[in-house]
Copies of this chain bind each other. A is one copy, B any other.
Amino acid sequence: MKKYSEMTKEELKEEYGVLRKQYKEFQYKALSLDMSRGKPSPEQLDLSMGMMDVLNSQGDLSCEDGIDCRNYGDLEGIPEAKELLGDIMEVNPNNIIIFGNSSLNVMYDFISRSYTHGVMGSKPWCQLPEVKFLCVVPGYDRHFKITEYFGIKMINVPMLETGPDMDMVESLVSADESIKGIWCVPKYSNPTGNSYDDETVRRFARLKPAAPDFRIYWDNAYTVHHLYDHHQDHLIEILAECKRAGNPDLVYKFASTSKITFSGSGIAACAASLNNLEDIKGQLAIQTIGPDKVNQLRHVRFFGDIHGVVEHMRKHADILRPKFETVEDIFERELGGLEIGTWTKPNGGYFISFDSLPGCAKEIVAMAKKAGVKLTPAGAAFPYGKDPQDTNIRIAPSYPSLQEIEMAASLFTLCVKLVSLKKFIEKAEA
């Protein structure tokens, strides 16, 4: 295919006309597809239906140590669940608290607690003139919504191939006491799909923040969410690394089973140093009498142990992999060599990140929407919804069927071409 940059004005216009017709044809199909959120498909959810059978009225809902899961109590979660989540999160069960069905809720609560009561004895953030957070971009929109909601000023840190720009992170956190945290999705990152390399994690563990209440919010949402058996990203375990570096309290690590079992009915967990956990439990004891232990037991009985989880994640991968590859194949076929967009090819996680030519992303998303394909709003992966270059679009291929993905990806590339062509035509006419 000829690059648009090498076409004459007439060629550009002719190509635009041809593609515009194809776009009209898509519009006649009256599609209604949603690639906006990282939702598991029904087929993926079916994988966990067995979880509905592991507890029944004839069985015993007690833990190994005798705790009756049906009653109140046990703020930190049941021992079996701490062990299972410990294995998933690669940390000691003693460093874990099990929460309810949403790790996002846990992160919100952590920000809220820091805002109202401070961190391990520090001044509550609501009493400070200004609080700032670093945000790796593109990143997870719902992280940014939380900090925005609390009036925390967000500073963009670019995501590189290796992870966040650590030169920038180091110089910012060491100089500015008002910077209290950084949002990270370190493995199969949302939305780029790449993982932080060893050097990056080591530099994180060795940060020297000016603020003693600075914490790394390490949202390891996709820790066991590989797409391939033989191409798996490996991430250095941050808690151990922080301890080694003499910074044991520097990090909160989050995970959940939301994209392992049922998205709405999983269990969430936080791993942190014992000092941090004590601080957290002080608040938790006021907030609740305890988590849903029956659901914890249900998860443990369903998986048995980490091997059960690994086996289960292979089945997810078998469903997800063809969807990712379909998108990547269509992108390559339709856009390869055109130099009007780049995209990531992750080994795991839930997203492909697409970058258009500058100033095109919003229009591409709008065009796709008009033809019945809903994408994450352009800019969503940036604080305040503002992508400075207007290039980034998050593609979430998990929910639609393979056939729908084909359709949606084809339409998407068509929109990318049309919007890019318009830019070239405008330039040629200017």
Contact = CB atoms under 8 A, between A and B. Distances in A.
Contacts of A129: none
A384 interface: no
Contacts of A94: none
Contacts of A291: 101, 264
A57 B52 contact: yes
A79 B117 CA distance: 36
A229 interface: no
Nearest to A55: B52
Contacts of A117: 149
Nearest to A117: B149
A170 to B, nearest CB: 30
A70 interface: yes
Contacts of A288: 102, 104-105, 108
Interface in A50-69: 50-53, 55-57, 59, 61, 68-69
A373 to B, nearest CB: 19
Given A104-B289, A289-B102, A71 B40 contact: yes
Interface string A30-49: 00000001011010010011
Contacts of A49: 57, 61
A116 interface: yes
Interface string A62-106: 000000111111100000000000000000000000001110110
Contact of A292 (B52, B59, B100, B115): B100
A284 to B, nearest CB: 10
Most chain B Cβ neighbours within 10 Å, of A51, A100, A264:
A264
A73 B38 CA distance: 12
B264 A71 contact: yes
A100 B293 CA distance: 12
Given A42-B68, A56-B52, A57-B50, A264 B283 contact: no
A262 B108 contact: no
B57 A56 contact: no
A248 interface: no
Given A57-B53, A70-B262, A264-B70, A292 B292 contact: yes
A295 interface: yes
B287 A108 contact: yes
Contacts of A50: 57
B264 A73 contact: yes
Contacts of A286: 108, 142, 145-146, 149
Contacts of A71: 39-40, 42, 45, 262-264
Nearest to A146: B286
The 8 closest A-B pairs by CB, nearest first: A49-B57, A265-B294, A70-B262, A126-B126, A108-B287, A105-B288, A45-B70, A101-B292
Interface of A: 37, 39-40, 42, 45, 48-53, 55-57, 59, 61, 68-74, 100-102, 104-105, 108-109, 112, 115-117, 124, 126-127, 142, 145-146, 149-150, 258, 262-265, 283, 286-295
